[in-house]
Amino acid sequence: MIEVTKQTVFTFILRIVEHWPVKVAAIIAAVMLWLFVSTASVAVTQRSLLIPIHIEGLDANEVASGIPNYVEVTISGPNNRVNRLNPESLYAFIQLPDSPGSFEDPIEVSVPNKIDLISVTPSEVIGAVEVVSTKLVPVTVVFQGEIPRGRSFETSIDPDKVLVRGRANTLDLVTQVTAPISPIAGIYDLAIFASDVNGLPISAIEILPETIAVSVKIAPITTTRTVPLIVRTPKIPGSIVTIISERHLIELLGPEDLLADLNAVPGVVELPTLNPLPGDYTLPVFVTLPEGLRENFISSARVRIQPQP
């Protein structure tokens, strides 16, 4: 039984080693064919992505100019990997110099494994690093649109001063921040912009805070006007009352539109008592005025009281 088994094993080995060069060649050919098929099944593709540029090496008190926001990156690699990539899969950055001034530096791009970087557009940046500064400027409210005549506007601004930040040469032009608003009473939350002495906007300026609260109150414009005072005399039983002063004027205070149509004001002399003694008196004049008007000074008149004959 043991001899039969040995003979079987020996026969099996002979069959394996028989024509071994041909068999080895067949195995090698099969492996190469498998590698060829595996490689051919994974297509290589090319793709372009627009990705943001990150700035490295910029201090808090510095600002860089000339750097674009995005860069176009062309990559190549296996189709199944390239098609799964998005802009967040790649990282583009520029390393700025340690000190302010001009620079000309390349844009570096990091790509995932098994992905080849073909091109970067633009490949380098020419720009400058400048020091920024801050200052406190007042807020100016500017009314836009038609302003009603004969009205005054009272504004309350919170805060009335804000912090502006920017390049030194640009910041020197900023004298105020401007808040445009309609001439309507109310409370508003307004966006503001940096402006020069003429109110023209200045760009590349950061404002803190970016908005302000403005309260607008509208009231009539008050002015003064002097008009004739028509003085009437009171009746006193048994006496004659005569106006002996020659010209009577009254100075009024109130809105322009009310004063414009007023040509004269009637008034009555106020007696000191119900039955004054005969004589000459300087007495106040009581006037009746339209609502919204008042006399600037108390008017008076000279009167003469005589017994009735």
User: pLDDT by residue (tens digit) across 216-246?
Assistant: 988 877 888 999 999 988 888 888 888 888 8
Whether pLDDT at 291 is above 70 = yes
CB count, 10 Å around CB of 116?
12
Whether pLDDT at 118 is above 90 = yes
Average pLDDT over residues 243-268: 87
- CA atoms of 228 and 249, how far apart (whole Å): 5
Average pLDDT over residues 46-72: 90
Task: For residue 103, give the 3-state DSSP assignment.
Answer: strand
Closest alpha carbon to 93 in 61, 62, 125? 125
Pair 38, 77: CB distance under 8 Å: no
Look at residue 18 in the predicted model and tell me its pLDDT. Answer: 62
Average pLDDT over residues 195-203: 92
pTM score over 0.85: no
- CA atoms of 103 and 57, how far apart (whole Å): 13
Question: On the CB side of 263, how many CA atoms lie within 13 Å of its CA?
Answer: 0
CB-based contacts of 81, cutoff 8 Å, min separation 6 = 112, 114, 115
Highest mean pLDDT among 29-33, 145-149, 152-156, 266-270: 266-270
CB count, 10 Å around CB of 49?
19
Closest alpha carbon to 49 in 144, 119, 96, 138? 119
Look at residue 196 in the predicted model and tell me its pLDDT. Answer: 94
Residue 14 backbone phi and psi in degrees, to 5? -60, -40
Look at residue 9 in the predicted model and tell me its pLDDT. Answer: 52
- Tokens representing 35? 């590698």
Residue 259 backbone phi and psi in degrees, to 5? -70, -25
Whether pLDDT at 48 is above 80 = yes
Pair 247, 264: CB distance under 8 Å: no
Question: On the CB side of 204, how many CA atoms lie within 13 Å of its CA?
Answer: 15
Q: Which residues pair with 127 in a beta bridge?
A: 103
Q: Lowest-pLDDT range, 24-38, 45-59, 82-96? A: 24-38
Amino acid (one-letter) located at 106: P
